[in-house]
Amino acid sequence: MANKRPPFWQREQYTPFLLLLPAVLTLLFVVLLPLLFSLYTSFTGYRLIRPESLWQWVGLRNYKRIFADGDFWVAFGRTIIFLTIALNLEFLLGLGIALLINKITWGQRTLRTIMMFPMMFSPILVGYQFKFVFNDNIGILNNALQALGLSDGAIPWLVDKYLANFSIIFAEVWMSTSVFAILLLAGLFAMPRDPLEAAKVDGCNPWQVFRHITLPFLMPFVFIAMTIRSLDVARAYDIVDVMTGGGPAGRTELLWTMIARVGYDNARMGQANAMAYVSILLSIAFTYYFFTKLLAARKYMGGAE
């Protein structure tokens, strides 16, 4: 009796596995299985309204369709342009705001709090708000322009091809500039004062101090913000869907509004999943790019390898 081996769950060599099991199971069911399932469906003609189509294996047909689909690539390209413009604008505005707030000595905390207000709203509500602002008939913007005599007609902010894209970017920038501003402000707070003074004594004018000392120091913070925001913008859906629904005539269609339409409105889930896998490549590419830049910038500053 005394020499009887304990049951396996009490043996020491199994303990680590036993303790890891809940986490592994959770990951398996919550992440891995859905991922594999969605990957599988991208090779089927799965339609939401015909569950039996889940077993209809079509091989690479969905992917072939995507690569032949002009609309998809237009949305893909538009997402990249949207991302580039939004990120750069947010960076420049955020940097400006951070530099200004860093300068003031009075009311800094209050301003920092106020600056975060846009982030406190749901993107859906921001979308509705700007939909109202930019509405061509009852919108506050057109009303204001007309009242000031700057325009006599109703400017079709959400209908015109360029203006609609502009309006969406405007809303996106309004909502998220503070992400940059806050991260860059944190960077400015962390910045040592001595190198700035050394540069002044070394002969730099204020612009040169900024260009050669402040900006390189801020770059790691910029790339962190860029990484976060590129993931955010690459999956932009809510604001666009509320403001224009991807319209008019698909002129503001981004990747995820298109994918959602194909998957839910048209019920072609197999096709939508294939699109989603292609567009995830975009996010991975941006993340990888900014992370490489981040590591390089941090290495300069004497940080981690």
Name the residues that contact another protein, by CB under 8 A. Answer: 192, 194-195, 197-205, 208, 212-213, 216-217, 297, 300-302
Amino acid at 62: N
- 263-to-22, 90, 172, 233 alpha-carbon distances in Å: 32, 31, 24, 20
- Provide the minimum distance between the beta carbon of 227 and another protein in the complex, in angstroms, as a whole number: 20
248 upstream amide cis, omega within 30 of 0: yes
Whose structure tokens read 């502009």? 166
Question: CB-wise, 28 or 198, nearer to another protein?
Answer: 198
Contact present, 119 and 176 (Cβ < 8 Å): yes
Whose structure tokens read 């925001």? 229
- Provide the minimum distance between the beta carbon of 100 and another protein in the complex, in angstroms, as a whole number: 21
Question: CB-wise, 107 or 206, nearer to another protein?
Answer: 206
CA distance 94 to 169: 15
Question: CB-wise, 13 or 105, nearer to another protein?
Answer: 105
Amino acid at 89: L
Comparing CA positions, the residue from 236, 263, 264, 266 lying closest to residue 252 is: 236
Question: CB-wise, 219 or 240, nearer to another protein?
Answer: 219
- Provide the minimum distance between the beta carbon of 213 and another protein in the complex, in angstroms, as a whole number: 6
- Provide the minimum distance between the beta carbon of 142 and another protein in the complex, in angstroms, as a whole number: 48
Is 50 in a helix, a strand, or coil?
strand
- Provide the minimum distance between the beta carbon of 86 and another protein in the complex, in angstroms, as a whole number: 28
Question: CB-wise, 212 or 261, nearer to another protein?
Answer: 212
